[in-house]
Structure 1
Amino acid sequence: VPVQVLSPGPGGVARQWRRALAEAGAAVGVPAGSPSADEELIEATASYRLDSEQVRKASVVASRLAVLAEHPVDVRDLRTAVRAQNGAGLERLARRIEPAVGWDDLVLPAATRRELSELALRARHREQVLGQWRMRPGGGRGRGIIALFAGESGTGKTMSAEVVASELGMELYVVDLSTVVDKYIGETEKNLERIFVEASDVNGILLFDEADAIFGKRSQVKDAHDRHANVESAYLLQRMESFDGIAVLTTNLRGNLDEAFTRRLDVIAEFPMPDAQQRLALWDRCLGTAIPREAGLDLEFCAGRFELAGGSIRACAVTAAYLAAESGRPLGMEQIVSAVLQEYRKLGRLVRESEFGSWLDRARGPRDSF
């Protein structure tokens, strides 16, 4: 007779962790059985999906980490122990990133931050909402969460995915589309299926960068290639709906995505080009505090004149730092403007004297011509 086993819920998960930690001889940083102890365990492990054996193994690892550090088990120990349970299979198919950035590193509009916070919120409470409360019943739907980050290149989409992963104590796995897309019929679906299967056993976030390459609009069938492309898209629609993990799709061109994908998205975050105030914050943050700056360094001029995305500003900051190191002097406007000129060349943008002002001639090299 089939027996349905219900989700234990957040309280049941906390008790499971507490029993496993007690068996491992570990002590949590607050008195056992107190409300704050359970809240700490729930908060630290709410976004993870682990079976009882994985909880037991993670508790042993967390206990040993705490002993080595000579402190009671804390959130960092638990999260490190959970990540240690991830298999290596997905790393052969996607690039693993251990998050090293946080919310303070992001310079984004308030609306975009709210969408990112909602993604983290959904990940923390999905077992309660989708499991206990059964808010996504029937149709073979999984308990996955799918988000779309849409915006121009360099506006912070990948970095934001890393921040959300850090917030949840997970690793980020970036899918390399060159290893997925195959010219032979059926091979792309097989490659994607391998990724989805491995990702379902990993407590991490799956990132499909430039997702419109494989999640593009279906077209009218005119030949066998069109028919195959539509079959591939139909497979992806079905597989994304049955996925149990957390996936983020990024795109520079939201209009290229099939409408059927958009309907299945849980969160859509728009990443606009930064305004002057945000560019000023980006310049200051990208340059950091360690590099010496000239007194006349005018970042407000740079933010107001050069309409660049965050990724381009970061590239300019690094280039300017190299120029300053070569000169042996503190970083000044000459190095900054030279770096911006190089970035304009990379982007194929026209250099206007109205943007650069009097700095244009001083920043040009002897062989530069525009």
Structure 2
Amino acid sequence: MSGTAAKGTAASENASGALLSRLAGLRERVAALVERRSADDPTAADPLRGLYVTPETARRLAALPPVDGTGGAAAAAGGGYAGQAYAGGSDDEVPDASEASGAPGASEAPGASDRPAALAARFGLSALDLHILLTALAPDVDRGFEPLYGYLNDDVGRRRATVALALDLAGTGPYEPAARARFHPAAPLLSGGLLVIEQEDRPLPGRALRVPERVVAHLLGDDGLDPELSGGEVELLSAVQRAAGRTGSGDRSGEPSFAGRLAALASERPLAVHLRERRPGTAAAPVTDGLRSAGLPVLRYRPEGRDGEGAGLAGALLREARLRRAAVVVGPLPERPQGLVRALAGRDVPVVFFGSEPYDPGWAPDAGLFAMDAPDDGAAAGEVWSAALGSVEVAGGFDLAAAVAPYRLGAAQIRRAARAATALAAFDGTPLTTAHIQHSARQQSAPLLDRHARRVRPAVGFDGLVLPPEPLALLHELVQRARHREKVLGQWRLRTGGGRGRGVVALFAGDSGTGKTLSAEVVAGELGLDLYVVELSAVVDKYIGETEKNLEQIFSEADRTDAVLLFDEADAVFGKRSEVKSSHDRYANLESAYLLQRLEAFDGIAVLTTNLRANIDDAFTRRLDLVVDFPFPDAEQRTALWRSCLAATPCADDLALDVCAKEFELSGGAIRSAAVTAGYLAAGRGEAVSAEDVRAGARREYRKMGRLVPDASPLWD
């Protein structure tokens, strides 16, 4: 057995011994009560008395030595309840652990863990509360109490303590208001989930008492998670041992981070906080780590997907948190969180709620809950990635900082992505590469944009682009902006106020087929992100306000997703505002005004494309980071485009692509279509692509555009 396991077993045995020692004292009081009742039992000679426990049997059972947890007998602890019979007193009195230890059977072996006393302190139990609790759980620990309780209840079938029996053993009864109040739903025993009063159809004195199994197990030294919470929604995270002199997690400057300050406050006093996240999953991990570093275990509750308001487990969750002196972290919150927030907030347990929706004071107006926006976790992404990957073998020339720069992941998401990338590399049997990192990071983003846009997995790079130097340089700048925006706009604080986001928005303008959409795919591929093409047919709606709703869904998802958003033919929704001459003009201008405001707060990466730059409103142009003009290719660029399109195609030696490029003035998109046509013609003959196939494809594109097709040219002679 390991040292840790042996230590845990010893602690459990100490806790069990402490509880059994207390029950030994309880048994003495049960024996005394049996003696008093059996001394003048008028039914002792009843021939039907066999249906009951006889006085002689009760005396004999009461005289048996109690169980000591090792199969032997334990010496009776002696002493009455708290040294004397309960004689009233304030029902609001809450003893500390030392006072509660004066309850039944306080004498125990040196060094034993007195969990009942600790439980009384945590839940605010009075001495009478603790007596009631021990009386109720006695049959769950020592079955010798069952016939004794049956005798005292005058019903052999009722082998649990009743309200009247528990109070009778304490020297009081349900006729005293102070004693009766201990069974009120708001009293510590019931509100804390320590006691269940069964048989609602009976009068209170005759109702049976039951202690939940989790409470019995805890008092016996079992620290396993409550089975009621083990369905997957609740995760137990143990506290982390802190280094000497450390008071919590800090940021890179050495100052305590937001999560560290919150954890330090939670460790001093209970509090309830609601954190609004800008991106899902970014607040829970740093706050959880901070609480654990402050020495608090954490119960992480994910209520999503539960019926109703997700408050069904709140009682068990609060009880478990009190038993462990733990904090509770809850989120993302369900659609209707009022019941959950009211059930958990305002208690003597630190609770942190988080979600993407703003806090509503109507959720729990009297809970003393304070709300704030969750800040960035302050983690240096490159450092977290390096620490998470550790000594994993990486491919040569691997630039980790450049590979992970486009991803806005929290520390916990980075660690999960690093584990997934390492497993993927092991599956491939290769060292870790950029592709492994980027694939795993994309999975953490969990995009929902597929509902509103068409996803494109980039398959081309800058080597597949044929552009003049100026637009090519602007595309490289766009990539650099996307990679370094967190540093420039966040750490360097070059972002202006007014609620502006950290998004990167570019406009690609040029004739059809000049490479705008392909360039957007190249940018996404260079960043290791997916490209989402917004289908304007699914966005624009004839009903007033519906277009804005559809666009808001897209922008909201793009804010939370690491992806490149492409608005193709953007002038359809980003067009110029017009003079208001009718109600239609007014509502059309409202759509443009909404887009202007939304772009200001955008946090993602978006590319707008248009064939007519003049159609884009000047107010949109001011909000753009880059405008890239795509010129029509000249003869030299057309030749390069032909060669790029046919690079992997078997071709004849005499294609004369430069001659074809001079004769046919085609855009890049048209050249690609012509090359595809040439490929089909050659494949049909079972031969390589010839010059005539290339010319036939070019002539086909001329006809599609309605242009005059030259029949012959001396250049081909």
TM-score by length of 1: 0.88
Establish whether residue 111 from structure 1 lines up as the match of residue 475 from structure 2: no
Residue number in structure 2 paired with 1:244: 603
Cα distance, 1:43 vs structure 2: 1.6
- The CA deviation string for residues 10-41 of structure 1, in whole angstroms up to 9 with x for no partner, is xx22222233334xxx615289xxxx98xx33
| Contact 1:334/1:359 (<8 A) preserved | no
Q: For residues 139-218 of structure 1, what are the structure 2 equivalents within 5 Å?
A: 139-218=498-577
Which secondary structure state, in structure 1, belongs to the residue aligned with residue 444 of structure 2?
coil
Which secondary structure state, in structure 2, belongs to the residue aligned with residue 247 of structure 1?
strand
Residue identity opposite 2:713 in structure 1: G
Q: Distance in 1 between matches of 2:417 and 2:637?
A: 41
Establish whether residue 27 from structure 1 lines up as the match of residue 27 from structure 2: no
| Contact 1:7/1:132 (<8 A) preserved | no
- The CA deviation string for residues 74-131 of structure 1, in whole angstroms up to 9 with x for no partner, is 3221111011123241011111111110111000000011100000010111001000
Establish whether residue 16 from structure 1 lines up as the match of residue 369 from structure 2: no
Cα distance, 1:182 vs structure 2: 0.6
Residue identity opposite 2:508 in structure 1: F
Residue number in structure 1 paired with 2:489: 130
Cα distance, 1:359 vs structure 2: 9.0
Q: Distance in 1 between matches of 2:383 and 2:699?
A: 59
Q: Distance in 2 between matches of 1:74 and 1:341?
A: 45
- The structure richer in helix per residue is 1
Q: For residues 1-370 of structure 1, what are the structure 2 equivalents within 5 Å?
A: 5=375, 8=378, 12-22=380-390, 27-29=392-394, 40-293=399-652, 295-353=653-711, 356-357=712-713
Cα distance, 1:63 vs structure 2: 1.6
Residue identity opposite 1:171 in structure 2: D
Which is further off, 340-349 or 13-22? Answer: 13-22
Residue number in structure 2 paired with 1:367: none
Q: Percent identity?
A: 55
Gaps in structure 2 of 5+ consecutive residues: 1-369
Residue identity opposite 2:507 in structure 1: L
Which secondary structure state, in structure 1, belongs to the residue aligned with residue 577 of structure 2?
coil
Q: Distance in 2 between matches of 1:27 and 1:178?
A: 47
CA RMSD of aligned residues (A): 2.3
Cα distance, 1:6 vs structure 2: 6.0
Q: Distance in 1 between matches of 2:612 and 2:377?
A: 39
Residues 357 and 67 (structure 1), Cα distance of their counterparts in 2 relative to 1, 3 Å cut? same
| Contact 1:157/1:271 (<8 A) preserved | yes
Residue identity opposite 1:185 in structure 2: I
Which secondary structure state, in structure 2, belongs to the residue aligned with residue 301 of structure 1?
helix
Which secondary structure state, in structure 1, belongs to the residue aligned with residue 609 of structure 2?
strand
Residues 252 and 30 (structure 1), Cα distance of their counterparts in 2 relative to 1, 3 Å cut? closer
Q: Distance in 2 between matches of 1:90 and 1:296?
A: 47
- The CA deviation string for residues 303-337 of structure 1, in whole angstroms up to 9 with x for no partner, is 11111000000000110111122233332222222
Residue identity opposite 2:662 in structure 1: G
Which secondary structure state, in structure 2, belongs to the residue aligned with residue 344 of structure 1?
helix
| Contact 1:7/1:127 (<8 A) preserved | no
Gaps in structure 1 of 5+ consecutive residues: 363-370
| Contact 1:28/1:74 (<8 A) preserved | no
Which secondary structure state, in structure 1, belongs to the residue aligned with residue 580 of structure 2?
coil
Residues 210 and 194 (structure 1), Cα distance of their counterparts in 2 relative to 1, 3 Å cut? same
Residues 359 and 41 (structure 1), Cα distance of their counterparts in 2 relative to 1, 3 Å cut? closer
| Contact 1:155/1:271 (<8 A) preserved | yes
Q: Distance in 1 between matches of 2:668 and 2:373?
A: 53
Which secondary structure state, in structure 2, belongs to the residue aligned with residue 239 of structure 1?
helix
Cα distance, 1:67 vs structure 2: 1.6
Q: Distance in 1 between matches of 2:375 and 2:655?
A: 64
- The CA deviation string for residues 270-310 of structure 1, in whole angstroms up to 9 with x for no partner, is 100101111001111111243232x3321111111111000
TM-score by length of 2: 0.46
Q: Distance in 2 between matches of 1:6 and 1:247?
A: 22
Residue identity opposite 1:16 in structure 2: V
| Contact 1:284/1:299 (<8 A) preserved | yes
Residue identity opposite 1:342 in structure 2: R
Which is further off, 156-165 or 340-349? Answer: 340-349
Structure of higher CA gyration radius = 2
